[in-house]
């Protein structure tokens, strides 16, 4: 057991984060899970590990009380946050060129992905500074270097996240805080909860992109989480401010 060690995980009900949740529990960590609407994927672990999990419902596009909510959990539990895995993501869902995009949809993607990242970092960093230690992994995307036609808001926001990581590595290194970004290519996920139009978009996009991958497959959850675990582990004593592309050899 990790005793009072906790990991903060955002987008906790998502495909990737749900996989990571189970691994973290198996490793003995307590979890502080941020989610938006549904929590079907985390309901079972909430029921099974009630004493080791705290759940915070929030809207990263609009909520300004992340810090107070997190502070309250820390005060009530006495847990010490050792890491943040920030998986919360809003995806492009109108599939339009920038000139044809709905401004509300475009701005919401930026609000969730960019402003949400700003808000969760402002919530956790004071705790890391106080204990003079912390590991942060942000979830980017390979689109930060190749762009995304009909998804400019998503690609722009993910590029901004990678640069936040670089900036914070310089700002927070003196507090022994490490921050890195993992930017995967296509990941095979359960997309049954998405709209039919988005599933069709993903199917066409992935079919084309997998052809360009030397390993001829999408990334798995383990491919991404394995790297995340190294970056937040004690074995990582020097790597910070980096963006890691998990793309199966696709440059």
Side-chain half-sphere exposure of 167, counting CA atoms within 13 A: 8
Vertex 14, ends 8 and 20: CA angle to 5°? 50
User: Using 50, 70 and 90 to split pLDDT, how confident is the model at 207?
Assistant: confident
Spatial contact of 35 and 42, defined as CB atoms under 8 Å apart: yes
Say whether 166 sits in a helix, a strand or coil.
helix
217: pLDDT strictly greater than 70? yes
Tens-digit pLDDT profile for residues 1-57: 467 999 999 999 999 999 999 999 999 999 999 998 888 889 999 999 999 999 999
* Domains defined for the chain, CATH in brackets: 5-246 (3.40.50.720)
Strand partners, 246: 184
Question: CA nearest 52: which of 72, 18, 25?
Answer: 25
* pLDDT at residue 1 in the model: 47
pLDDT value for 195: 67
Mean pLDDT rounded to a whole number for the chain: 90
Q: Supply φ then ψ for residue 163, to 5 degrees.
A: -80, -30
Reading the block at residue 212, the tokens are 């360009």
Strands 53-57, 80-86: pairing kind: unpaired
Residue ranges of alpha helices (H) inside 86-234 are 103-110, 116-131, 143-146, 152-172, 196-210, 221-232
């Amino acid at each position: 057991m990790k005793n009072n060690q906790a990991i903060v995980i955002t987008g906790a009900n998502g495909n990737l984060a749900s996989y990571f949740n189970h691994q973290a529990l198996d490793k003995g960590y307590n979890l502080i899970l941020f989610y938006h609407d549904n929590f079907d994927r985390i309901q079972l672990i909430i029921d099974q590990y009630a004493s080791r999990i705290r759940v915070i419902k929030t809207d990263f596009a609009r909520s300004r009380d992340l810090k107070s909510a997190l502070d309250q959990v820390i005060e009530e539990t006495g847990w010490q946050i050792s890491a943040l895995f920030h998986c919360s993501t809003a995806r492009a869902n109108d599939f339009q060129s920038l000139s044809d995009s709905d401004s509300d949809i475009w701005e919401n993607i930026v609000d969730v992905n960019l402003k949400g990242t700003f808000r969760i970092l402002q919530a956790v960093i004071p705790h890391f500074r106080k204990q003079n230690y912390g590991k942060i992994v942000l979830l980017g995307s390979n689109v930060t270097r190749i762009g995304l036609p009909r998804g400019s808001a998503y690609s722009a926001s993910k590029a901004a996240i990678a640069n936040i990581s670089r900036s914070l590595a310089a700002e927070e290194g003196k507090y022994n805080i490490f921050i890195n970004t993992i930017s995967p290519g296509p990941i095979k996920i359960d997309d049954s909860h998405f709209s039919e139009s988005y599933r069709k978009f993903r199917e066409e996009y992935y079919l084309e992109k997998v052809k360009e991958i030397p390993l001829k497959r999408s990334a798995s959850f383990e491919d991404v989480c394995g790297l995340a675990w190294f970056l937040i582990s004690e074995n990582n004593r020097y790597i910070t401010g980096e963006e890691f592309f998990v793309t199966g050899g696709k440059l």
